Each structure stands twice: as C-alpha cells, then as structure tokens.
Amino acid sequence: MSVEGVAEVDRFRLDGRVALVTGAASGLGHSIAAGLASYGAIVVGGDINDEGLDVTVKRIRAEGGTAIGVHCDVSDEASIEALFARVDEEFGRVDILVNDAFRPIDRVYPQDHELGPWEEAIQVNLTGYFLCARAAGRRMIARGQGGSIVNISSIAGSSGMGRGNFVYSVTKHGVIGLTRELAIEWARHGIRVNAIQPCQFLTPGLKKWIDAEPDPVALTKNLVRGIPLDRLGDPERDIVGPVVFLVSDAAAMVTGVVLPVDGGNLAFNAGGSKTW
C-alpha cells in the first residue's frame, strides 16, 4: 500500500526530526527517547537527573542514534527556556515534544492536603507540561512547518482514583484538558497535540512505590486485577509504538485524541470495585 507514492511503513519514520523528551532519564521517558531515536529522530532529553540522562544518551548513541541530554527542571520557567535555547543553538528546530516528566507525590486525602505540596505537584505535572508545550509551540508556529506534541497523562486522567491520589489525579485530568485546548488552538498551525493514558507500567518510579508497600506481591496482583490483558505495562515493549504512531505522519489526521495504553483498564472500569 502506498499514499502519494510513500510506502505506508515510511510514514512511521522520524528521520531528521528533532524530538524533545522531558523525564528522559528514567522509566517511560527513557524508553520513549530510545524508541523515537530508533525511528530516526534526533533526541534531546531534558531531566533533573543528570546521571539517568547520561544513561539514556549513551544507550541511544550505542544503538546508532543521535542524542543529547540537557539538565532541565520543568518546574522552573527559566530552566525550560534554557533547554529550548540549547535546542535552538544545536539543531535550530523542534518537531516533536513529549511531555513526560513527573514528580512523585505523597498520597494524601483531600481534607488533609496542604497548599505547598499541592502547588509543587501542579507546578511539575501540569504547569511544566504547559510551559514546555508553549516553548515548543512558539517555535513550531514561527517555523511554519507544524509539529507534534504528546502529553503523558494516565488512566487517572479520566477516572477518579481515590485512596489519597488526589492531586496526582487532578493534574492528570488537567493534562487532558491542556491537550484538547492546544489541539484546537494550534490545529491551524499544523501542530497536532495528543495524550496517552498509561495504566500501571513497571518503571523505576512504580517499582519504588510498590516495593515500599507492606505486601508488594499482593499489591501487584491487585493492580493487575484491573487490567484485562492481565499484566502491568512494560516500558520497552508497550509505550514506544503508541508514541511513535502519534508523533509520526502515520497519524497526520489525529489530533486532540486521548489514547489509553492500559491493557483495557478504562474499557473495563468495574475493575475499580471497592469490595469484590
């Protein structure tokens, strides 16, 4: 099959495109950065974890790709501007942004939530996404060749979680609102904006949380009970394909979409039962 003489498979390739991935030092961000590079993108990883960034960059280079890592704190507007200034200087363009960086949040019930931790969570997990999108969008608009943004939300972005996951869930709902608004506002500039909703993926972040619980095995079983495909997500195997699809020309008519990558969790829903 071909579209205007281009083999369908080529429409997934990202050769020569500059892709910026926040949170690239660990977990989903690491796998997404390596995955985009394997499809030909030039990758810029931004993160506060310099050691982890180095691992990601070295992996991409060892696999024949091109990547740099830039220290960036997405809760700090100046740090984000410095990241994008570095991208301007090195590559002169940004075609793809993946907003993934996230700050782990203590579980606290709404009635006990202090303003400080609330604001810190919003700053990284929502305002950071907006500021990175704004910096990317401004450049994409000025260049006039469109672009693609993927925001990593969560299954917690369209259903309530309870159990003290209050502010996390609020930020992930916010990411979906941000995605839809940007998709509409920037469609006229050829910038597509989509979101992904992962279920529980076995990343260092999730593993740390599971291991800190009194019975990690029982907790893992309980999480899997809500996933019809009967396993946790694997960052290497399960996230790259959906992200590559959304940022590539294969998804040229796809914008404002919220794509669950959740083994059927949101379709199932009743898996959230309190008692059985």
Ligand X SMILES: NC(=O)c1ccc[n+]([C@@H]2O[C@H](COP(=O)([O-])OP(=O)(O)OC[C@H]3O[C@@H](n4cnc5c(N)ncnc54)[C@H](O)[C@@H]3O)[C@@H](O)[C@H]2O)c1
Q: Which residues bind ligand X (CB under 6 A)?
A: 22-23, 25-29, 47-49, 52, 72-75, 100-103, 124, 152, 154, 198, 200-201, 203-206
As measured in angstroms, the least distance from the Cβ of 20 to ligand X is: 12
Determine the residue with CB nearest ligand X: 27
User: How big, in percent rounded to 5, are the helix, strand and coil portions of the chain?
Assistant: 50, 15, 30
Name 98's bridge partners: 21, 150
Which C-beta is closer to ligand X: that of 190 or that of 264? Answer: 264
Residue 98 belongs to what H/E stretch? strand 96-99
Which C-beta is closer to ligand X: that of 103 or that of 192? Answer: 103
Q: Is 165 exposed, middle or buried (0-12, 13-18, 19+ CB in 10 A)?
A: middle
Q: Residue 233 has what DSSP assignment?
A: B
Q: End-to-end alpha-carbon separation of the chain, Å? A: 48
- Our measurement of the distance from residue 224's CA atom to the centroid of its chain's CA atoms, rounded to an integer in Å, reads 22
The token duo for 133 is: 């999108």
Which C-beta is closer to ligand X: that of 179 or that of 203? Answer: 203
Concerning whether 168 is annotated as a catalytic residue, the answer is yes
As measured in angstroms, the least distance from the Cβ of 258 to ligand X is: 13
Q: Which of 39, 109, 129, 168 is catalytic?
A: 168
Which C-beta is closer to ligand X: that of 16 or that of 241? Answer: 241
The token duo for 209 is: 């949380």
As measured in angstroms, the least distance from the Cβ of 274 to ligand X is: 21
Where do we find the tokens 């608004």?
181
As measured in angstroms, the least distance from the Cβ of 21 to ligand X is: 10
Q: How many residues does the chain have?
A: 276
Q: Which residues are catalytic?
A: 168
